A and B are shown apart, each in its own frame.
Chain A
Amino acid sequence: MKARVYVMLKNGVLDPQGEAVRHALGSLGFDGVEGVRQGKVIELDLADGTTEATVTEMCEKLLANTVIESYRVELS
């Protein structure tokens, strides 16, 4: 089984990289980009039977820094 973990800076935490991407899109002529947030996707190959609770624990302990980041887990 696989899990996909999406880690994003929390709303309210300024994302300077996202801002830089927004400016770059603007200078390429793409109007109307009102905000860009940049995050990361982490794919995990897991032994069958691994629970979502375990993946959540992985996020809390290592994959995300919950002071500034939020995360979302998708199992498939």
Chain B
Amino acid sequence: MKAAVIVFPGSNCDRDLAVAFERAGADVTMVWHKESDLPAGVDIVGVPGGFSYGDYLRCGAIAANSPICQAVVKHANAGGYAMGVCNGFQILTETGLLPGALRRNAGLKYICRTVGLEVATQDSAFTSGYAKGDVIDIPIAHHDGNYFADDETLARLKGDDRIAFTYTDNPNGSVDDIAGVLSANKRVLGMMPHPERAADAGHGGIDGTAMFSALMTQVVTA
């Protein structure tokens, strides 16, 4: 599996995400935001966490309009895989690849701790390594993770089984406890929690590793 991890000015989880992909056996290329093309043959794009462009205007808004994001949108629209974590999720909603938006946390505070996530569907390359209903421990670290989508969008997400993860104890006010969502073809995932920060015994938990190892088997055979 060939993975590309995008690096924006202000990204700070890019190397963690690259290491998680590498540990799973992927061949990883880091791609600077000014590039206008992804490396040839890339199977999956990782859009990392951080504070791209200083979170100016809105989290992810400037990054979503960067040259490389046009290439990411093209890749995804052609059926390619992509995952956005934290700021990466905000960026993917801003590009329109994923529905909804992330607002300021309901409690207004930046939250950095490990939370419980319930796996809401097994039916995606990202979540196939878990069983529906599994509860996994994954860290969050965000100020703007309060997921919003209108009722019509929520109904569509539920009806099409596109909610990937929900919080067991909603930390930020997200509608319907939503922590991560999938695109219509289930090849694009956005989630606020950081699976790449639970991918090594030294992290204090390894519940994120199943996502990366499942991607290795699912994406290669796709």
Q: Are B93 and A67 in contact (CB under 8 A)?
A: yes
With A62-B57, A65-B58 as known contacts, state yes or no: A14 contacts B101, CB within 8 Å.
no
Q: Are B101 and A16 in contact (CB under 8 A)?
A: no
Proximity bits, B151-192, A CB within 8 Å = 1, else 0: 000000000000000000000010000000000000000000
Q: B148 within 8 Å of A by Cβ?
A: yes
With A20-B108, A62-B61, A65-B101 as known contacts, state yes or no: A13 contacts B148, CB within 8 Å.
yes
- Identify A67's interface contact among B101, B105, B106, B173, CB under 8 A: B101
Bound complex: CA A67 to CA B108 (Å): 20
Q: A46 within 8 Å of B by Cβ?
A: no
Q: B75 within 8 Å of A by Cβ?
A: no
Question: In the complex, what's the smallest C-beta–C-beta distance from B30 to chain A, in angstroms?
Answer: 26
Contacts of B150 in A (CB 8 A): 67
- Identify A68's interface contact among B62, B65, B103, B105, CB under 8 A: B103
Nearest CB to that of B175 among chain A residues?
Answer: A14
- Identify A16's interface contact among B58, B65, B106, CB under 8 A: B106
Q: Are A67 and B148 in contact (CB under 8 A)?
A: yes
Nearest CB to that of B104 among chain A residues?
Answer: A16
Question: In the complex, what's the smallest C-beta–C-beta distance from B104 to chain A, in angstroms?
Answer: 5
Question: In the complex, what's the smallest C-beta–C-beta distance from B72 to chain A, in angstroms?
Answer: 17
Contacts of B149 in A (CB 8 A): 67
Interface size class of A (residues with CB under 8 A): 10 to 19
Bound complex: CA A10 to CA B165 (Å): 26
Q: Are B65 and A14 in contact (CB under 8 A)?
A: no
Bound complex: CA A16 to CA B106 (Å): 6
Bound complex: CA A16 to CA B148 (Å): 13
With A61-B65, A62-B65 as known contacts, state yes or no: A16 contacts B105, CB within 8 Å.
yes
Question: In the complex, what's the smallest C-beta–C-beta distance from B193 to chain A, in angstroms?
Answer: 20
Q: Are B103 and A13 in contact (CB under 8 A)?
A: yes
Bound complex: CA A14 to CA B99 (Å): 18
Q: Are B108 and A16 in contact (CB under 8 A)?
A: yes
- Identify A14's interface contact among B58, B94, B100, B173, CB under 8 A: B173
- Identify A17's interface contact among B93, B100, B104, B173, CB under 8 A: B104
Q: A73 within 8 Å of B by Cβ?
A: no
26 contacts between A and B (CB under 8 A): A9-B103, A13-B103, A14-B103, A14-B106, A14-B173, A16-B104, A16-B105, A16-B106, A16-B107, A16-B108, A16-B146, A17-B104, A17-B108, A20-B108, A61-B65, A62-B62, A65-B58, A65-B94, A65-B101, A67-B93, A67-B99, A67-B100, A67-B101, A67-B149, A68-B101, A68-B148
Residues of A within 8 A of B (CB): 9, 13-14, 16-17, 20, 61-63, 65, 67-68
7 smallest beta-carbon distances between A and B, as pairs: A67-B101, A68-B101, A16-B106, A16-B104, A16-B108, A65-B101, A20-B108
